[in-house]
Amino acid sequence: MAYIFFGLILLFAGISATYLFANGFASETLEILFPAIGAILLSGYLGFKSIYLDAPQPVKFSVSIAVLHDFAHGKIQGMAPHSIQHLPRFNEFRGAELLDTLPLYNAFRQQDISGMLRDVAIVPHSRAVNLIEHFVEYALLRWLCYPDVLVGYTPTQASLLINPGGGGGGSLPMDLLVATPITGGSNNPNPLLQASPLKIPLPKGSKVVRSGDRPIAFQITTPHTTLSFRYSGGGMETIDHPVGKEAERIYSALGLSNTATQVQMLGINIEVTVTQSPFSRHSREAKAEAEWVKPLEGTD
């Protein structure tokens, strides 16, 4: 339809130019242009309305990530393990599960992780809280590198954006995604990223930029989509003893004694905002990126 419409425009322009030239561009012949100008203005407005005024609003969703902090022994772990079936649900982002193992990575051995996690200074000057925030950010970025959350992945086949011929088992030809380094954050460096840099496979032309002045804040920009992660607040609660059988079961699953002391739960709220380019949102690539974002809203 677009080609037919474009062809009609060219045909009308050619006939009009021929008619005006044949009449020496006399003022009497200019009337033929008035309907065309009106049609062009109307089409321009309708096009602007369709592309920009009717563009979908940015999609926002948030998640709470809970971290169990044992500052007596300098340890952290994510909450809650899958063995605990209770509400509220924590760790909507699967990447938060890495909190249990990240402190054990060989790449981080040179850092005094246990010592910093024993720091109980008043927030916001606590080295422990700062380090936990760095761990959460690193876990989220590392999760975004997982094959099953890459652009174009589906459980049974790859998107047409990645493999026009289709595919099975969710396998992706990675040569069409580019390992994109994480930049920015020079005023707020993450020591974990410095010790073990990450690269997220994204479509060509993408970039990942950390905020320079905010904790757990970074933005992923692809040719058609902007995905922003932002720390939007949280809280801290000291854990002393369970109340009720349900609480005792949770304590047991977490490996806590009923007389646990020097243990606190840190809650971190992450707000995610997804925006697509109004001009190219109907392209095949943009639709594939929209499908990529959907699972991020509820991955557990």
pLDDT in tens, 189-214: 999 999 999 999 998 889 999 998 88
Biggest CA–CA distance in the chain, Å, is: 99
Average pLDDT over residues 179-184: 93
Phi, then psi, of 55 in degrees rounded to 5: -65, 140
Report DSSP state, residue 159: -
CA distance 148 to 151: 9
User: Is residue 134 domain-shared with residue 15, that is, in the same domain?
Assistant: no
Global pTM reads 0.73
User: Is residue 19 domain-shared with residue 64, that is, in the same domain?
Assistant: no
Which of 72-81, 88-97, 192-201 reaches the highest mean pLDDT? Answer: 192-201
User: Is residue 19 domain-shared with residue 102, that is, in the same domain?
Assistant: no
CA distance 106 to 237: 31
| pLDDT tens-digit series, residues 247-267 | 666 666 666 666 666 777 788
Give the end of a domain, one of 20, 37, 53. 53
- Coil, helix or strand for 30? helix
Which burial class, exposed, middle or buried, applies to 91 when counting CB atoms under 10 A from its CB (0-12, 13-18, 19+)? buried
Among 229, 178, 186, which residue's Cα sits nearest to residue 206? 178
More confident residue, 245 or 29: 29
What are the helix (H) ranges across 185-243? 191-195
CA distance 177 to 152: 10
**Residue 244 — very low, low, confident or very high, per pLDDT cuts 50/70/90?**
low
Number of domains in the chain: 2
User: Is residue 219 domain-shared with residue 187, that is, in the same domain?
Assistant: yes
Question: What residue ranges in 185-250 does DSSP mark as E strands?
Answer: 199-203, 207-210, 217-221, 225-239
pLDDT for residue 160: 43
DSSP H or E run through 20:
helix 2-22
CA distance 191 to 195: 6
User: Is residue 120 domain-shared with residue 153, that is, in the same domain?
Assistant: yes
pLDDT for residue 165: 43
pLDDT for residue 86: 46
**Residue 220 — very low, low, confident or very high, per pLDDT cuts 50/70/90?**
very high
Is pLDDT at 27 greater than 50 in this prediction? Answer: yes
User: Is residue 192 domain-shared with residue 101, that is, in the same domain?
Assistant: yes
Cβ burial 238-262 (10 Å sphere, 16+ → b, else e): ebeebeeeeeeebbebbebeeebee
Report DSSP state, residue 231: E
- Sheet of 59-70: strand order equals 75-79, 59-70, 263-276, 225-239, 217-221, 207-210, 177-184, 199-203
Length, in residues, of the chain: 300
- Coil, helix or strand for 152? coil
Name the residue range of residue 216's domain: 59-297
Phi, then psi, of 292 in degrees rounded to 5: -65, -35
User: Is residue 49 domain-shared with residue 191, that is, in the same domain?
Assistant: no
User: Is residue 173 domain-shared with residue 189, that is, in the same domain?
Assistant: yes
User: Is residue 198 domain-shared with residue 90, that is, in the same domain?
Assistant: yes
| Pairing assessment for the beta strands 177-184 and 207-210 based on DSSP bridges | parallel
User: Is residue 17 domain-shared with residue 110, that is, in the same domain?
Assistant: no
User: Is residue 27 domain-shared with residue 161, that is, in the same domain?
Assistant: no
Report DSSP state, residue 204: T
- Least confident stretch, 82-91, 171-180, 217-226, 227-236: 82-91
Tokens of 207: 């970039």
The answer to whether the bond into 81 is cis (omega within 30° of 0) is: no
Among 57, 63, 135, which residue's Cα sits nearest to residue 100? 135
User: Is residue 156 domain-shared with residue 271, that is, in the same domain?
Assistant: yes
Direct distance between the N- and C-terminal alpha carbons of the chain, in angstroms, rounded to an integer: 43
Among 61, 58, 211, 29, which residue's Cα sits nearest to residue 137? 211
